[in-house]
Chain A
Amino acid sequence: MLRNMASGLRSLFRKERVDRELDEELRDFLELATEEKMKQGTSREDALRAVRLERGNLEVTKEFVRAALWESVVETCWRDMRFALRTLRKSPGFTAVAMLTLALGIGANAAIFTLIDAVLLKSLPVANPTQLYRLGDNNNCCVMVGTQNGGSFVLYSYPLYEELRDRTPEFTELAAFESYLSDLSVRRRGDSAAEPYKAEFVSGNYFTMFGIRAFAGRLLTPPDDSSGALPVAVMNYYTWQQHFGLDPFVIGSTFNINGVSYTIAGVTPPRFYGDTLRSDPPDFWLPLAAEPNGRLHDAKLEWLYVFGRLRPDVAPEPVQARLTVELQEWLGSHRKVIPERDWKDISQQHIRLTSAAGGVGQMQTAYAAGLRLLITLSALVLLIACANIANLLLARGSANRSQTAVRLALGAPRHRLIRQMLTESVLLALAGGAAGLYVAYVGTHAILLLAFRGAHYIPIDARPSVPVLGFALLLSLATGIVFGIAPAWMASQSDPADTLRGAGRSTGDRSSVVQKPLVTLQVAFSIVLLIGAGLVTQSLRNLEDQHFGFVTEGRLIVNIDPSLAGYTPEKLYGLYQRLEEALPQIPGVLRASLSGYSPLGGNNWNERVYIEGKLPDYRWTAPSWDRVGPHYFETIGTRLLRGRAIDERDTPVAQHIAVINETFANRFFVNENPIGQRFGMGDTSHNGDYEIVGIVEDAKYQDTRGPAYATFFLPLLQTPSGDQLRGWVGAIELRVAGKPENLEPAVRKILADVDPNLTVLKMVSFGEQVARNFNQERLIARLTELFGLLALILACVGLYGITAYAVAQRTNEIGIRMALGADRGNVLRLVLRGALAQLGLGLGIGIPAALAGGRVLAGQLYGVKSHDPMILGLAAVILAACAVLAVSVPARRATRVDPIVALRYE
């Protein structure tokens, strides 16, 4: 084997000598055989002939002997490649167009695949991610009470987590962490201003469970996560790099976090982003023991996700069964923490163990459908590009027909011809693929910016990873074969005799048998893409331009959290008074208001209500609610329909009142006047707490597609029994004159004047806040538009190409027709007929295909039917108009054919 390789390599590198020796040896062989024959008395000529018949022809034998060796394959490939390179260099125009088309086609696919790889395929950058399992199978979030949706437990209270951790030895580590990120106000010792950051509270064994080591310093350990431990925090590498310039003195230094002094224990490794792939991952990880809301020992509140590392010798199924038993036992012995109405569901509660190799699958769930749609669309674009290049190659193949014929006549085997042409197309595709990687890099960047509008940091690397490189390589190879095979086959099928006899002067030729369906297919694909682009664009426009129940123009939203600045509930009233007084003083601010949260900012509270004089009604999901200050509805532009809004009269000590929206009114007060009715939260004993004084129009606070939720609004600090926790303000709304963004510095200054510790967590215009709800829709719409445009251009180029080629081929025929009396109109019709037939056929195939495909899309569309006749018609008209324009150029050229010149042609 080794000797074979060595000898093969030698003959590759000393090819000439080896060839010469073989040549000499064979020549001798045949010479000796000839002499032998001549000795028997034949003439030399006859002897030579006889030997050739008996022993074989010298050249053929040489070829045969050489072909028996493996290195000959390498050699022919090499020769094919050099020949292909030469051919491509000879037609730079074709090469450039083909490469550009391919770079765009392959680039688009590689860009989408980069995202698919990052979001759907990649594991967390931790040790042995496949050993990680999550206790739960959905992404229900935040804080819950009682039994959980469908019985599948996902959120855990800390006592329940402790129980599971201590009773399940099959996990080497079982760690818990908050299901959401918390806002932090952080000031490094010596800095004057506090900055907003994101944090995640995690159990002490969190990093041990992931099996990662600190990049610098140390990570959290269980002793850090015990009451009375010195507060320590771990910093994200990215935060260390971006905000602290990799300053080594950060480690071990003291930071003021939410008013408490923390020591920075260490920094995580560079690529680590925590347990969930998301934009803006945590900047800090803090021990659960430091959780500020006192949730740790509350057995009622379910707010933690749980991950575990399974021992390598343990199968997940028995562990899942065991966990369910443990859960049941715990729930059974803790009935007092579960609301009575959930008791009947306890026996259905169970734990599903799911792989956590990719972390919490938030982004996976959110983007899987969109990514699948995009990869389908980009594959369509690539197919159209392939069809185009195949057409170009076919046209060129026909032009090179005489060359091919000569080679066939000289005895070149057909498979060699096919191989050589395939080499050319694969080479072209590989070059296009290499260029496509650059397109992919730039494209991924752009896509990430579109998809995560408003994010500071996205832990997805736009640089092509190894799987992406492999994908691009495979795709290029496949592309090269797909668009190369038809032209190669056509060329090899040509009959040398026909061609050499001059059959090139025919009225049509065989390559059009393939070309025409290709163009038809292109038209069909393009119309599908155009209709798709039209639908998603219209859907996005409907979403963005809908009546939300508030006005976004000229509004600025500021997010704050007074608890981070050390406010206690009894100090809030003073703070709100000062804010309400100071904010309208800012020049340009017309109205200012405070609220718990603002619409479509990612927050939503809901709570069951108990209405005076009515039985509790559990049929509906609990209504949403918000706390709002005076002028709130005016400031955000929600109309008051009846009664009055919340205003300055509604102080904490005044009579407790509420404002409800239309849906709330219609749901709970059918054929009744809601004004003057009373309701409350918690249980029936509270049903007289708040009196309804007004009704406002419906507004969407969370779901942009469905109808507005039933919602009620309470004054900022009116709480029934001194439950002070429920008066925190999270948002400031400002109605301003001019561009909202321009007011940012002034607002910051006034807030700092009111209280320098009051950290601005976020400040965006209302329009931008709403726009960020549509990131995914916008991404899909923009990319589909781009793909649709590409498809349109490619289809037109295809139609132009095939028509121009047909005109060139038929110059002769056109000349004869004109000489025989055909006028320009006849010629124009002759040329257009073919192209328009393909256009019509393409539309005929594409529109039903789009209608069928549209049904898949229907679930993602808003306010537009998947068979919207306007969009269908518009797409068809645009495509037809562009196509006619593309075809008319060569068609007009045909009408200008001079019969005399044409007849002399060739």
Chain B
Amino acid sequence: MPDKPSDLVQGTLDMLILKTLALEPMHGYGIAVRLEQMSKGVFRLNAGSLFVAFQRLQRAGLIRSEWKATENGRRAKYYVLTDQGRKRLNSEKREWGRQVAAIARILEAS
């Protein structure tokens, strides 16, 4: 529902998580850190909204999770992008691009 502006933020977070996972499977904290790094600190997410988003994406079948050992030998839940998630990411990226362009055109019009 990207045509509803109120969903923009929520939709954006989901899209960003999918994007992060497109590179490699990651655990929750890893995703948070990566999002912060990539946004240069603009997005600092609290655990609550992040985990609610994980649950939402999992329920939608866009990501799945598995327990794996981390690099320092601890057990952690890793999130993996599914095929469906990859498709969604691509379509969302296109939609986002379309919207940004449209918004830009509106803002630049005099």
Is B48's CB under 8 angstroms from A28's CB? no
**In whole Å, how far is A898's beta carbon from the nearest beta carbon of chain B?**
57
Residue of B nearest to A36 (CB): B33
Assess A28 versus B74: contact at CB under 8 Å? Given A7-B58, A7-B59: yes
Partner of B28, one of A25, A54, A64: A25
Is B28's CB under 8 angstroms from A29's CB? yes
In chain A, positions 1-48 with a C-beta closer than 8 Å to chain B are: 3-4, 7-8, 21-22, 24-26, 28-30, 32-33, 36
For B61, what are the chain A residues with a Cβ–Cβ distance below 8 Å? 3
How far apart sit A828 and B56, CA to CA, in the bound complex (Å)? 66
Q: Is B86's CB within 8 Å of the partner chain A?
A: no
Is A26's CB under 8 angstroms from B77's CB? no
For B52, what are the chain A residues with a Cβ–Cβ distance below 8 Å? 64-65, 68
Is A56's CB under 8 angstroms from B48's CB? yes
Residue of A nearest to B58 (CB): A7
Partner of A26, one of B47, B55, B60: B47
How far apart sit A154 and B106, CA to CA, in the bound complex (Å)? 74
Assess A65 versus B46: contact at CB under 8 Å? Given A25-B28, A28-B76, A33-B29: no
Is B77's CB under 8 angstroms from A21's CB? yes
Is A29's CB under 8 angstroms from B32's CB? yes
Q: Is A61's CB within 8 Å of the partner chain B?
A: yes
Q: Is A96's CB within 8 Å of the partner chain B?
A: no
Is B46's CB under 8 angstroms from A61's CB? yes
Q: Is B44's CB within 8 Å of the partner chain A?
A: yes
How far apart sit A24 and B46, CA to CA, in the bound complex (Å)? 17
In chain A, positions 49-93 with a C-beta closer than 8 Å to chain B are: 54-56, 60-61, 64-65, 68-69
How far apart sit A56 and B45, CA to CA, in the bound complex (Å)? 10
How far apart sit A484 and B97, CA to CA, in the bound complex (Å)? 53
**In whole Å, how far is A22's beta carbon from the nearest beta carbon of chain B?**
7
**In whole Å, how far is A25's beta carbon from the nearest beta carbon of chain B?**
5
Is A65's CB under 8 angstroms from B29's CB? no
For A60, what are the chain B residues with a Cβ–Cβ distance below 8 Å? 48
Q: Is B93's CB within 8 Å of the partner chain A?
A: no
Residue of B nearest to A21 (CB): B77
For B58, what are the chain A residues with a Cβ–Cβ distance below 8 Å? 7
Which of B44, B51, B56 has most A Cβ within 10 Å? B51
Is A28's CB under 8 angstroms from B47's CB? no
The DSSP consensus for interface residues of chain B is helix
For A4, what are the chain B residues with a Cβ–Cβ distance below 8 Å? 59-60
How far apart sit A459 and B108, CA to CA, in the bound complex (Å)? 79
Q: Is B27's CB within 8 Å of the partner chain A?
A: yes
Q: What are 28 A-B contacts defined by CB distance under 8 Å? A: A4-B59, A7-B58, A7-B59, A21-B77, A22-B51, A25-B27, A25-B51, A25-B77, A26-B47, A26-B51, A28-B28, A28-B76, A28-B77, A29-B28, A29-B29, A29-B47, A29-B51, A30-B47, A33-B29, A36-B33, A54-B46, A55-B46, A55-B47, A61-B46, A61-B51, A64-B48, A65-B52, A69-B55
Interface residues of A (CB under 8 A from B): 3-4, 7-8, 21-22, 24-26, 28-30, 32-33, 36, 54-56, 60-61, 64-65, 68-69
For B32, what are the chain A residues with a Cβ–Cβ distance below 8 Å? 29, 33
Interface residues of B (CB under 8 A from A): 27-29, 32-33, 44-48, 51-52, 55-56, 58-61, 74, 76-77
Closest 3 CB pairs of A and B: A32-B29, A64-B48, A68-B52
For B56, what are the chain A residues with a Cβ–Cβ distance below 8 Å? 68
**In whole Å, how far is A53's beta carbon from the nearest beta carbon of chain B?**
10
Partner of B44, one of A28, A54, A65: A54
How far apart sit A32 and B76, CA to CA, in the bound complex (Å)? 11
Assess A56 versus B55: contact at CB under 8 Å? Given A28-B74, A28-B76, A33-B29: no
Which of B47, B48, B55, B74 has most A Cβ within 10 Å? B47
How far apart sit A24 and B44, CA to CA, in the bound complex (Å)? 22
**In whole Å, how far is B48's beta carbon from the nearest beta carbon of chain A?**
4
For A21, what are the chain B residues with a Cβ–Cβ distance below 8 Å? 77
**In whole Å, how far is B5's beta carbon from the nearest beta carbon of chain A?**
21
Which of B29, B32, B56, B60 has most A Cβ within 10 Å? B29
How far apart sit A54 and B45, CA to CA, in the bound complex (Å)? 8
How far apart sit A464 and B59, CA to CA, in the bound complex (Å)? 44
How far apart sit A7 and B55, CA to CA, in the bound complex (Å)? 10
For A22, what are the chain B residues with a Cβ–Cβ distance below 8 Å? 51
How far apart sit A29 and B33, CA to CA, in the bound complex (Å)? 11
Is A68's CB under 8 angstroms from B55's CB? yes
Given contacts A4-B59, A4-B60, A64-B48, 18 further A-B contacts (CB under 8 A): A3-B61, A7-B59, A22-B51, A25-B51, A25-B76, A25-B77, A26-B51, A29-B32, A29-B51, A33-B32, A36-B33, A54-B44, A54-B46, A55-B47, A56-B46, A56-B48, A61-B48, A69-B55
**In whole Å, how far is A220's beta carbon from the nearest beta carbon of chain B?**
64
How far apart sit A21 and B78, CA to CA, in the bound complex (Å)? 12
Residue of B nearest to A22 (CB): B51
How far apart sit A32 and B28, CA to CA, in the bound complex (Å)? 10
Is B28's CB under 8 angstroms from A65's CB? no
For A61, what are the chain B residues with a Cβ–Cβ distance below 8 Å? 46-48, 51
**In whole Å, how far is A63's beta carbon from the nearest beta carbon of chain B?**
9
Residue of A nearest to B56 (CB): A68
**In whole Å, how far is A64's beta carbon from the nearest beta carbon of chain B?**
4
How far apart sit A4 and B45, CA to CA, in the bound complex (Å)? 25
Which of A25, A33, A36 has most B Cβ within 10 Å? A25
**In whole Å, how far is A396's beta carbon from the nearest beta carbon of chain B?**
37
**In whole Å, how far is B13's beta carbon from the nearest beta carbon of chain A?**
13
Residue of A nearest to B46 (CB): A56
How far apart sit A588 and B74, CA to CA, in the bound complex (Å)? 109
